[in-house]
Amino acid sequence: MIVTIIGVGLIGGSLALSLKQQGLAARVIGVDRSPENLRKAQDLGLIDKAHKDLAAAVAPADLVVVAVPMDAMLTVLPAVLDLVTERQVVIDVGSTKAALLAAVQAHPRRARFVAVHPMAGTEYSGPEAAVPELFAGRTLVICDAAGSAPDALQLVETLFHQLPMRLVHLAAADHDVHTAYVSHISHITSFALALTVLEKEKEEQRIFELASGGFASTVRLAKSSPAMWVPIFRQNRLNVLDVLDEHLHQLQRMRELLQQEDYAAFAALIEQANHIRRIIK
């Protein structure tokens, strides 16, 4: 199978490596807005051939993967669908789905498109950040599959099943609610935590010396790129605001109990939070 990857960053590049490693892609063609990323992707062996021209890159592909930030996605995906034939399949790997699916809802090639979101990533970006083991054992969400042609869906399911990934079907709107909870809010809290510490803790050497694993793990997402994340927050704005309000409410509750020195109620809240053990091993 020939795979064309548009956007050879963390996700596109990692997918290229995974597909090659599993013997699922005979040839990977890369397209990127940045000539430097494209060169790096070729040097790192993520792609076999680099293309500047979208039409030339899409033409030979069996599968086209659009792995660009969500703002660009809204224009690149329709442009790719304009180019494909009935024998080709297109996927996105984006973190928000409702706006994107609305944007291609009426496209004549909508059925060639399968909307997927691999629930995997790191705080790094660019082709250098690509790793072959990013997806193995993780969940792939497939959204609004009823709008995809059965053969297109079949190809995508078979492919990701072999990475291997666990497949879950969701409506786009539900996907966006759930990801606000299990991904987007974590990034907001991490950015805010980094800002809190950087704002007040001027002795950076002290942070470096004293920071233990707990701090590093809660703040690591704050290294994530604004180019990737601002469009996600923008497209999932109402869900993110809703979850953020709930999170502010929970923090305010903890603050009040500490202010009032009601340690019994504070302990009860922590015990409630401990229930997350049931879900996160």
Within 183-222, the residues that bind a copy of itself by CB under 8 A are: 183, 185-201, 203-204, 206-222
Instruction: Kindly indicate which of the ranges 13-21, 33-41, 152-160, 228-236 contains the residues binding a copy of itself, using the contact rule CB under 8 A.
Output: 228-236
Strands across the sheet with 49-51, in order?
A: 49-51, 27-31, 2-6, 63-66, 89-92, 113-118, 139-143, 166-170
The residue among 4 and 18 lying less far from a copy of itself, judged by its C-beta, is 18
Q: At closest approach, how far in Å is the CB of 19 from a copy of itself?
A: 20
Among 55, 56, 136, 182, binds a copy of itself (CB under 8 A): 182
Sign for the CA dihedral angle at 255, 256, 261, 266 comes to: negative
- Rounded to whole angstroms, the Cα distance separating 74 from 100 reads 6
The residue among 79 and 268 lying less far from a copy of itself, judged by its C-beta, is 268
The reply on whether position 230 binds a copy of itself by CB under 8 A is: yes
Q: At closest approach, how far in Å is the CB of 27 from a copy of itself?
A: 29
The residue among 99 and 141 lying less far from a copy of itself, judged by its C-beta, is 141
The reply on whether position 120 binds a copy of itself by CB under 8 A is: yes
The reply on whether position 169 binds a copy of itself by CB under 8 A is: no
Binders of a copy of itself among residues 241 to 260 (CB under 8 A) are: 241, 243-248, 250-252, 254-255, 258-259
Among 123, 128, 129, 171, binds a copy of itself (CB under 8 A): 123
The reply on whether position 158 binds a copy of itself by CB under 8 A is: no
The residue among 113 and 229 lying less far from a copy of itself, judged by its C-beta, is 229
Among 66, 141, 152, 153, binds a copy of itself (CB under 8 A): 141
The reply on whether position 1 binds a copy of itself by CB under 8 A is: no
What is the chain's length? 281
